[in-house]
Structure formats: structure tokens, C-alpha cells
Amino acid sequence: MRSPTAAHQITDKSETERRQRPLSSACSRRRPIIGPTLMTAATYARVSTLDQDPAAPIEQLRTYCRARGWEVREYVDHGVSGAKQRRPGLDALLQAVRRRMVGVVVCTKLDRLARSLEHLVALGGEFKALGIDLVVLDQAIDTTTAAGRAMFGMLAVFAEFERDLIRERVIAGLRRAKALGKRVGRPRTQVDRDQILALREAGLSYRMIGHRLRISAALAHRLARQTPVDAG
């Protein structure tokens, strides 16, 4: 005959096992095995004029990111000069960077981001502070390495220098054209003052008149205020 103490011990042991089984299964459900997360890359492409097609650099960026196994968020500025710091595509990219939605920014050339040294330094400093890497394909820049960070600094200086050279060549060309008696700038638009007055009488605003006649609203307003002698 078993002692009550022994029977009680066996019952306690089996009850303990029953309690432990659901606990271990619950823990396994709460702690699933998580694989490595993919890096999300923000690709940026820009062309300066509407006549240019950004398809080639976009595909180049996609191919590079696929080769490295990165997820891609694409940002494009079409027909926007690199001299402008505020651009729709770049602004959206920076917003994603500041929200830590991406881990690396990828572009084809350094001057696609900016051509101003001040702007480049500001972008590089912000990326570094947020822990975001920068990869520039054509210049083989990768800021995860010391060499890449050094190359980024040197190319930023060269980009500013190249922009200064281009500006100097343009100014020299305009001066030469003026010296030869050539007209520089947009051709003069032949606008009939009576036509502007007729459109005003029809109830159109100066902005609408300018849009219809392909002139600025300020010019339409100025021509409308001129006397017939001044207009002639």
C-alpha cells in the first residue's frame, strides 16, 4: 500500500508537467524565429530638363539594389535643376530618411543630389547623424568605409569646382555674343495692347491674359497701363 505522501508527490509531479507544457508552447508562439531583415534603399534620380528621360539611371539603380538584395523606394525629380535645394523628389527622400524608413541612399552621380558644396556637406552631415549610408555608383562611393567617406569629401569639392567652371564658361560665352552684336536672352514677344484691353473688358485677370498670350502677368499689366504713345 502506497503512502499518502508518495501518492501526493506523484500527483503534484504530473500536475507540474501539465502546467509546464502549455507554458512552453505559449513561449514558442510568442518568440518566433525571425530571419535577417532586408535593407531598404532610397534611390534618387534627377534630370535637369523635361526633354531628358530618367529611365536609364532608374534602371541602373534598380539593378544595383537587386544585386545587393535591397528593397527599393524610388524618388525621381524630372526637369528640376540640381542648383535648387528644394525639389519634390529630394524632399520626399529626406522625409523618408528622417523617419528612418530607409537605411541607405543610392544615386548614380554625386551631382544628382546637389552641385553646391554647402548643400552636399549639409546632406552628408544629416545622413551621418541619422546613421544612413550613401552609395554613389559612378564614383564608387560607399560611406560605410573610411575611404568612401574621404572620397565623398573630395568629390564634393570637385563638383563645386566643376560648377564654377561651367558658370564661367557660360558668362564668357554671353559676353562674346554681346560683343559680336548678337541678342542674348529670350526673344521679344510681340503683344498687341488692344488685345490685352479687350481681354480685360471680357473679365479675364492679368494672370489669365498672360497665360493665354504666353507672357507674364506683370508684363500684361504694364502694357495695359501704357498710353498709346508709349506702346508705340
Name the residues annotated as catalytic: 48
Give the torsion through C-alpha atoms of 118, 120, 124, 125, to 10 deg: 10
Amino acid at the residue 185: G
d(CA 88, CA 95): 11
CA 23 from chain center: how many Å?
Answer: 50
Contact 206, 221 (CB under 8 A): yes
Beta bridge partners of 142: 135
d(CA 93, CA 110): 15
List of residues 6+ apart from 130 with CB closer than 8 A? 97, 98, 100
